[in-house]
C-alpha cells in the first residue's frame, strides 16, 4: 500500500492502540494533526508543552495505555524536557513526536532547528530521528514497542518536516510486538518461600513497579497469606488497599512512623519493584530507620536497579512483580505450603500502626504545634480531607510543604490513585496531571493538591481543564511563600529569606475568570464546610485555604543542606 509518512505514523499509533494525544498545534506536525480525527485519535490542546506532557503521562499512568505528545520543533521540544524526565523516572510510556528541520537544511541551524535527538536522549528510553522515509515504519514501531516494554518509559521521535509528505510502501498488516515474560522457575519460587517462612519479622517494601505490573491485588493476597506487613516507598502510598490490616503506610519524607519503626525492626525486606533509593530512607521525625541488618530479597524487572543495591542482597530476581507473586501464589495453592503465622510480629505491627494513627489525630492542633489561631494548620486540612474525600478518588500532588503531608494523612483503596512528579520532584505537575487522570477515568473524582507557588506556575492549565470540561478539584494551600524552600532558609540560614516570600494576585478571582467555581478559606472555622462543599460540588472547583506563612513540616533534605561555614561573607 502506498501512503505518506504522516499516514504511516498515525496508522501505526492506531494499530498499537494509541487513541489519546496531547500537545500544542504547530506547522511541523500539521500533517499528523490533520490525520488524528480521521484515525480516531482524540487530541487535547494544552497551553504549554510541559503540561501536555504531564497530561499524557498521567493519562497513561491511570489508563495503562500509551499516549502521544505532539510538539513544534525547537522550543516545543525543549519545553517537553521536564515532562519527559518525569515520565522516564516514573516509568510512564508516552510517545513524543515533533517535526524537525527539513532534510536539506538539517544541521545548518535553520529556523526552529535544535539537536532534538540529543536533547531528548537522556530523558527518554529511546530518542531518534527518521533519517529517510523508508525507515519510518521500522523506527515508529520500534519506538512504540520500546516504550511499552518493561521497564516502560517515554520515547522521542523527530520527523524531518519534509518527510511527512513522502510517499512510501507501507505494510499495514504487520503489527510486530514483543512479549516480555520473566516468570521465575519453580526453584526460585521455593527458595523465596523458604526465606519468607524462616523469617520472624519480614516486611514487604513495595514501590512503583508493583503498580505498573498491576500486582496490587496479588500483593495483598501474598501479604495476608504469608502474614507479611507492607510498607511502600516514598510517594507510592497507593500500592495496595490502605484499609488492609497489614498496611502500615509509606516510609520516607512525611511517611508513617509505624512503617519506619517496623522497617527498622524487620529481619527480611522483600523489596518489590523499587529502586531502594537513598531518598526513601532519609531520617524523618528525627529518627533513623534504614535497616542494614535485615536480609534483602529484591524483585525487579531491571537488573540494574537490583545491582544498585548490592549490599545485603540475599536474593535478586529479575521478574515482573505480577508474574513473580502470581507464581508464588500458584505454588502455594497447588502444593499447599505451611505458613509461619507470626502472630506476635503482626500484633506488634498493628499496635504501632494504631499508636501512629492516634498521634496523627493530635498533630497540628492550632496553638500547639502550628498555626496562629487564625489559620487552619496543614494537618487539620488533611484530617478534614480524610473525612470527606471519596476512597475511590485520584489525588495528584505537586512538590512543596503543603502537598507533602498527603503522604502522611491520605488513604487509598485502589491502585493507581496517587500521581506525583517524583522522583524528579518538579513543581508544576498536579493540575495538568489531574486533567490527564480525569480524561483517563472520567467517573472518578480527581483532586489536585498544591501550594500557592505551584498554583501560580500552573494557572494556564486551568484553562485547558475548562476547555475540555474535565471537572477537576484543586486544593491550594496558600502561605504566600515558596514554603518548602523558605523552611530551609528559616532553619539553616537564620530566617534570612531570599526569594521565598511571594505576593500573589487574587487567585480565586483568576480561577473564577477562567471558569472555575472558587472559594477561599480565611479562617479555621470555615475550613470543614468549605472542603466538604468543594469535594461534593459537581463543578470544577478551586479551593484556596490560607495557611500559616511561617509553619512548615520538617524539611526533607537534612542529608545535604546545612548551616554554611564561610571565609569571606561572614555575618556578624
Ligand atoms: C521546577 C521546580 N522549581 C523549583 C523547585 C524547588 N521547590 C520545591 S518546593 C518549592 C516551593 C513550593 O511552594 P508552594 O507551591 O507554594 O508550596 P509550599 O511549599 O509553600 O506549601 C520550590 C520552589 C522544584 N522542586 N521544582
Ligand atoms: Mg506556598
**Could you give all domains of the chain from N- to C-terminal order, each with its CATH number?**
2-169 (3.40.50.970), 186-358 (3.40.50.1220), 364-546 (3.40.50.970)
Which atom in ligand 1 lies closest to the alpha carbon of residue 82? 1
- Distance from the alpha carbon of residue 514 to the mean position of ligand 1, in angstroms: 24
All cell numbers assigned to 532:
466538604
Beta bridge partners of 520: 544
Q: For residues 94-101, give the mean pLDDT.
A: 98
Q: Which atom of ligand 1 is nearest to the CA of 477?
A: 21
Atom of ligand 1 nearest to the CA of 452: 16
Task: For ligand 1, pick from 54, 397, 405, 453 the residue to mutate: most ligand atoms within 8 Å of CB.
Answer: 453
CB 72 within 8 A of CB 50: no
Residue 367 banded pLDDT, cuts 50, 70, 90: low
For residue 515, name the pLDDT band (cuts at 50, 70, 90): very high
CA 350 – CA 246 distance, rounded (Å):
8
Ligand 1 atom having least distance to the Cα of 427:
26
CA of 479 to the centre of ligand 2 (A): 5
For residue 129, the model assigns a pLDDT of: 98
- In the beta sheet, which residues pair with residue 44? 22
Which distant-in-sequence residues (6+ apart) come within 8 Å of 107 by Cβ? 101
Taking only the tens place, the pLDDT of each residue in 28-80 is 999 999 999 999 999 999 999 999 999 999 999 999 999 999 999 999 999 99
- The predicted structure's pLDDT at residue 123: 98
pLDDT at residue 287, rounded to an integer: 82
**b/e map 37-72, b = 16+ CB within 10 Å:** eebebeebebbbbbbbbbbbbbbbbbbeebbbbbbb
Q: For residues 194-216, give the mean pLDDT.
A: 97
- pLDDT at position 183 is 81
Tens of pLDDT, residues 396-449: 999 999 999 999 999 999 999 999 999 999 999 999 999 999 999 999 999 999
Tell me the C-alpha distance between 76 and 112, whole Å: 9
Using 50, 70 and 90 to split pLDDT, how confident is the model at 572? low
Work out the pLDDT band at 184, boundaries 50, 70, 90. Answer: confident
User: What letter would DSSP give residue 185?
Assistant: P
Would you say residue 177 has pLDDT above 90? no
Could you tell me the pLDDT band of residue 525, with boundaries at 50, 70 and 90?
confident
- Ligand nearest to the backbone CA of 555: 1
Mean residue pLDDT across the chain: 94
- Dihedral angle, C-alpha 341, 343, 347, 350, nearest 10 °: 10
- Tell me what pLDDT residue 27 has: 97
Question: How far is ligand 1, taken at its centre, from the CA of residue 427, in Å?
Answer: 6
Ligand 1 atom nearest 403 alpha carbon: 21
Nearest to 168 by CA among 355, 6, 397, 342: 6
Q: Where are the alpha helices (DSSP H) in 378-500?
A: 378-388, 401-404, 406-409, 430-440, 452-458, 460-467, 483-492
Among candidates 261, 516, 196, 554, which has minimal Cα distance to 379?
554
Range of lowest pLDDT (309-313, 371-375, 398-402): 371-375
Distance 452 CA to ligand 1 centre (A): 9
How many angstroms separate the CA atoms of 254 and 59, rounded? 26
Pocket test for ligand 1, best of 421, 484, 551 (most atoms within 8 A of CB): 484
Of 521, 500, 491, 518, the closest CA to residue 453 belongs to 500
C-alpha pair distances (Å), 143 with each of 156, 174, 222, 317, 517: 8, 15, 35, 27, 42
* Euclidean distance between CA atoms 155 and 31, whole angstroms: 20
Q: What are phi and psi of 411, to 5 degrees?
A: -125, 145
The pLDDT of residue 358 is: 94
Between the CA of 478 and the centroid of ligand 2 the distance, in Å, is 5
Residues in the ligand 1 pocket, defined by CB under 6 Å: 398-402, 425-428, 450-454, 477, 479, 481-485
478/455 Cα distance (integer angstroms): 9
| Ligand whose nearest atom lies closest to the CA of 553 | 1
Neighbours of 564 (CB within 10 A): 8
pLDDT surpassing 90 at residue 334: yes
Q: Is the pLDDT of residue 369 over 60?
A: no
Q: How far is CA 113 from CA 130, 135, 325, in A?
A: 15, 21, 48
Residue 374: per-residue pLDDT: 81
Alpha helices in 44-157, H assignment, sequence order: 49-63, 75-78, 81-89, 116-120, 136-148
pLDDT in tens, 239-268: 999 999 999 999 999 999 999 999 999 999
Distance CA 526, CA 533 (A): 11
Whether the pLDDT of residue 368 is over 60: the answer is: no
Whose atoms come closest to the Cα of 450: which ligand? Answer: 1
Percentage with pLDDT > 90 across the chain: 85
Name the nearest CA neighbour of 312 among 268, 247, 362, 263: 268
Predicted local confidence at residue 94, as pLDDT: 98
pLDDT band at residue 483, thresholds of 50, 70 and 90? very high
The answer on pLDDT for 133 being more than 60 is yes
482: left (phi over 0), alpha (psi -120 to 50) or beta: beta
Identify the pLDDT of residue 491.
94
The closest ligand to the CA of 458 turns out to be: 1
Most distant CA atoms of the chain, gap in Å: 79
Distance 432 CA to ligand 2 centre (A): 18
State which ligand 1 atom lies nearest to the alpha carbon of 404: 21
pTM of the model: 0.96
User: How many A from CA of 244 to the centre of ligand 2?
Assistant: 34
Q: Whose CA is nearest to atom 4 of ligand 1?
A: 427
- For 349, the 3-state DSSP assignment is helix
Q: Is the pLDDT of residue 286 over 90?
A: no
Amino acid at each position: 500500500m502506498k501512503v505518506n509518512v504522516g499516514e504511516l505514523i498515525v496508522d501505526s499509533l492506531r494499530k498499537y492502540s494509541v487513541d489519546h494525544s496531547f500537545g500544542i498545534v504547530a506547522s511541523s506536525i500539521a500533517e499528523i494533526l490533520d490525520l488524528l480525527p480521521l484515525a480516531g485519535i482524540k487530541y487535547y490542546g494544552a497551553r504549554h508543552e510541559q503540561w501536555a506532557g504531564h497530561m499524557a503521562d498521567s493519562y497513561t499512568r491511570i489508563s495503562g495505555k500509551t499516549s502521544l505528545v505532539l510538539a513544534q520543533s525547537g522550543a516545543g521540544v525543549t519545553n517537553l524536557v521536564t515532562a519527559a524526565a518525569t515520565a522516564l523516572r516514573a516509568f510512564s510510556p508516552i510517545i513524543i513526536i515533533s517535526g524537525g528541520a527539513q532534510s536539506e537544511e538539517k544541521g545548518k541551524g535553520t529556523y526552529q532547528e535544535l539537536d532534538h535527538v540529543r536533547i531528548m536522549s537522556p530523558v527518554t528510553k529511546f530518542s531518534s530521528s527518521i533519517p529517510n522515509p523508508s525507515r519510518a515504519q521500522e523506527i515508529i514501531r520500534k519506538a512504540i514497542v520500546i516504550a511499552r516494554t518493561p521497564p516502560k518509559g517515554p520515547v522521542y521521535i523527530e520527523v524531518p518536516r519534509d518527510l511527512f509528505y513522502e510517499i512510501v510502501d507501507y505494510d499495514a498488516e504487520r503489527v510486530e510486538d514483543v512479549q516480555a515474560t520473566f516468570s521465575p522457575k519453580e526453584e526460585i519460587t521455593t527458595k523465596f518461600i523458604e526465606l519468607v517462612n524462616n523469617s520472624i519479622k519480614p516486611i514487604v517494601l513495595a514501590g512503583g513497579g508493583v503498580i505498573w505490573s498491576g500486582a496490587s491485588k496479588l500483593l495483598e493476597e501474598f501479604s495476608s497469606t504469608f502474614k507479611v506487613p507492607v510498607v511502600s516507598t516514598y510517594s507510592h502510598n497507593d500500592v495496595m488497599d490502605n484499609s488492609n490490616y497489614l498496611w502500615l503506610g509509606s516510609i520516607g519524607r512525611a511517611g508513617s512512623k509505624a512503617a519506619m519503626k517496623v522497617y527498622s525492626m524487620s529481619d527480611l525486606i522483600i523489596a518489590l519493584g523499587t529502586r531502594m533509593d537513598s531518598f526513601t530512607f532519609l531520617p524523618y521525625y528525627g529518627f533513623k530507620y534504614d535497616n542494614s541488618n535485615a536480609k534483602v530479597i529484591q524483585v525487579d524487572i531491571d537488573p540494574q536497579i537490583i545491582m544498585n543495591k548490592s549490599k545485603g542482597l540475599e536474593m535478586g530476581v529479575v521478574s515482573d512483580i505480577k508474574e513473580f507473586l502470581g507464581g508464588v501464589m500458584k505454588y502455594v495453592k497447588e502444593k499447599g505450603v505451611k505458613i509461619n503465622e507470626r502472630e506476635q510480629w503482626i500484633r506488634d505491627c498493628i499496635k504501632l500502626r494504631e499508636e501512629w494513627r492516634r498521634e496523627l489525630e493530635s498533630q497540628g492542633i492550632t496553638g500547639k504545634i502550628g498555626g496562629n489561631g487564625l489559620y487552619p494548620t496543614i494537618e487539620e486540612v488533611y484530617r478534614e480531607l480524610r473525612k470527606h474525600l471519596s476512597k475511590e478518588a485520584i489525588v495528584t500532588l505537586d512538590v512543596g510543604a503543603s502537598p507533602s503531608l498527603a503522604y502522611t494523612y491520605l488513604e487509598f483503596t485502589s491502585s493507581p490513585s496517587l500521581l506525583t512528579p517524583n522522583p524528579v520532584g518538579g513543581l508544576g505537575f498536579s493540575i495538568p496531571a489531574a486533567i490527564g487522570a480525569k480524561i483517563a477515568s472520567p467517573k472518578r473524582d480527581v483532586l489536585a493538591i498544591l501550594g500557592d507557588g505551584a498554583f501560580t506556575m500552573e494557572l494556564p492549565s486551568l484553562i485547558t481543564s475548562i476547555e475540555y470540561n474535565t471537572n477537576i478539584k484543586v486544593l491550594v494551600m496558600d502561605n504566600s511563600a515558596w514554603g518548602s524552600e523558605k523552611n530551609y532558609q528559616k532553619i539553616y540560614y537564620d530566617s534570612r529569606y531570599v526569594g521565598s516570600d511571594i505576593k500573589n494576585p487574587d487567585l480565586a478571582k483568576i480561577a473564577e475568570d477562567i471558569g472555575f467555581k472558587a472559594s477561599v478559606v480565611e479562617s479555621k472555622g470555615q475550613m470543614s464546610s468549605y472542603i466538604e462543599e468543594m469535594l461534593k460540588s459537581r463543578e470544577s472547583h478551586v479551593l484556596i485555604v490560607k495557611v500559616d506563612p511561617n509553619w512548615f513540616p520538617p524539611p526533607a533534605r537534612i542529608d545535604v543542606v546545612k548551616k554554611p561555614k564561610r571565609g569571606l561573607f561572614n555575618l556578624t
